[in-house]
């Protein structure tokens, strides 16, 4: 689908995942095309990508640059393979380049660190082995590849026809970037801003100390951009950027007060706090105990992101004994 003249949206399926599909974007250039995000490294995704690239009237060999907004498997998974087929140069933010080795190439250390981290945040011993490995198999959907171009934010990515400015937007992942085209007033927002889904922001061993604080700051900074159309990595394109930013800011204010309320009866670990918060799945409230192991881990990480922000703001106290305990100030 040609979203604006010269920019095509490609729908890449994410089999068995509730997100449904990833939106990759192809931007035309004077001497080659730019591909933004790629999809999982599975046959269904690769075939869909190949077919839609063909429908644009080009082949992989016409792609000279690949930008990955962040290193989650649905964005980064196929980058290595497309690079091999096209000879394109891959660009990724510095922070995530530095984490690829420990996340995808030699993950044993990270697995051990994750188990320790879960214990420290109050996950019961019986649940640690399951929660520790719950996302381990997504590594199968990634062909790890190091970038030729390291981004820092403020960089320019040009195709000749389009001139994108790289904006570092940490939060959903520590090296997440958006691409802004000021002349066309376009924002390729990755997973930073989606029209309906609230991007997951969680504290974990690779998230940085205050991912929600980072997220809200990088969200607020985008308010000043002159944007007519947002091209997100999931769901559909939309135009009301500022209103959507306001909604997301408001959502996190509410979640912060829920986390604070959950601490009312005394000090709690991240896990215990998460167990006292309302979780909504497919529009239904689901008790924490009934969440799947993956959702339980995400819920705990998300709760901890809110608690760490409250700690930074001086609204909760944090003490470390055998576990980390948060309490209201």
- What is the closest distance, in whole angstroms, from the C-beta atom of residue 175 to Zn ion in the complex? 11
List the one residue from 37, 74, 96, 214 that touches Zn ion (CB under 5 A). Answer: 74
Q: Which stretch binds Zn ion (CB under 5 A): 5-13, 71-79, 205-213, 257-265?
A: 71-79
Q: Does 184 bind Zn ion (CB under 5 A)?
A: no
Task: Show Cβ contacts of residue 39 under 8 Å, excluding neighbours closer than 6 positions.
Answer: 12, 13, 14, 22, 24, 45, 46, 48, 49, 74, 75, 77, 78
Output the smallest distance, CB 19 to Zn ion, in A.
6
Q: Choose the stretch contacting Zn ion; rule: CB under 5 A; options: 45-53, 81-89, 184-192, 295-303.
A: 184-192
Q: Which is nearer to Zn ion, 74 or 155 (CB)?
A: 74
**DSSP conformation class of 127:** G
Smallest distance, Zn ion to C-beta of residue 233, A: 5
User: Are 280 and 286 within 8 A, CB to CB?
Assistant: yes
Q: What are phi and psi of 167, to 5 degrees?
A: -115, 120
72 touching Zn ion, by CB under 5 A: yes
Site for Zn ion in 97-116 (CB under 5 A): none
Of residues 74 and 214, the one with the C-beta less far from Zn ion? 74
Q: Which stretch binds Zn ion (CB under 5 A): 119-127, 128-136, 191-199, 285-293?
A: 191-199
State which residue, 203 or 324, has the beta carbon closest to Zn ion.
203
Query: Taking a C-beta distance cutoff of 8 angstroms, is the pair 145, 41 a contact?
Result: no
Residue 194 CB, shortest distance to Zn ion, in Å, is: 9
Residue 270 half-sphere exposure toward CB, CA atoms < 13 A:
28
The minimum distance between CB 323 and Zn ion, in angstroms, equals: 28
Please report, to the nearest 10 degrees, the dihedral formed by the alpha carbons of residues 193, 92, 88, 15 taken in order.
-50
- The answer to whether 191 contacts Zn ion (rule: CB under 5 A) is yes
For 137-182, give the DSSP string: GGGGG------SEEE-SS-EEE-SS-EEEEEE--SSSTT-EEEEET
Distance of closest approach, residue 14 Cβ to Zn ion, in angstroms? 8
Burial (CB count within 10 angstroms: exposed 0-12, middle 13-18, buried 19+), residue 43: exposed
The residues of the shown chain that bind Zn ion, judged by CB under 5 A, are: 72, 74, 191
């Amino acid at each position: 689908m040609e979203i604006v003249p010269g920019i095509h949206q490609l729908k890449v399926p994410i089999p068995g995942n509730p997100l449904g599909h990833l939106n990759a974007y192809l931007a035309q250039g004077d001497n080659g095309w730019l591909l933004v995000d790629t999809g999982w490294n599975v046959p269904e995704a690769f075939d869909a990508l190949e077919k839609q690239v063909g429908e644009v009237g080009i082949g992989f060999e016409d792609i000279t640059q690949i930008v990955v907004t962040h290193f989650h498997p649905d964005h980064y998974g196929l980058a290595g393979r497309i690079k091999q087929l096209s000879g394109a140069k891959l660009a990724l933010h510095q922070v995530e380049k530095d984490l690829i080795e420990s996340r995808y190439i030699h993950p044993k250390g990270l697995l051990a660190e994750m188990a320790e981290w879960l214990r420290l945040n109050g996950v019961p011993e019986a649940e640690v082995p399951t929660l520790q490995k719950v996302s381990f198999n997504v590594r199968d959907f990634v062909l790890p590849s190091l970038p030729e171009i390291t981004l820092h934010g403020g960089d320019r990515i040009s195709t000749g026809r389009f001139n994108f400015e790289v904006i570092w937007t940490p939060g959903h992942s520590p090296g997440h970037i958006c691409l802004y085209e000021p002349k066309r007033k376009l924002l390729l927002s990755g997973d930073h801003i989606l029209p309906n889904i609230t991007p997951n922001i969680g504290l974990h061993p690779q998230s940085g100390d205050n991912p929600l604080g980072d997220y809200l700051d990088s969200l607020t900074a985008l308010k000043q951009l002159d944007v007519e159309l947002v091209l997100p990595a999931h769901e559909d394109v939309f135009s009301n950027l500022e209103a959507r930013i306001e909604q997301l800011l408001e959502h996190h204010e509410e979640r912060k007060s829920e986390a604070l309320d959950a601490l009312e009866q005394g000090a709690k670990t991240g896990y215990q706090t998460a167990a006292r918060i309302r979780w909504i799945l497919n529009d239904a409230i689901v008790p924490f105990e009934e969440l799947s192991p993956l959702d339980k881990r995400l819920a705990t990480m998300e709760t901890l992101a809110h608690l760490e922000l409250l700690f930074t703001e001086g609204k909760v106290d944090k003490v470390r004994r055998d576990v980390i305990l948060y309490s209201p100030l």
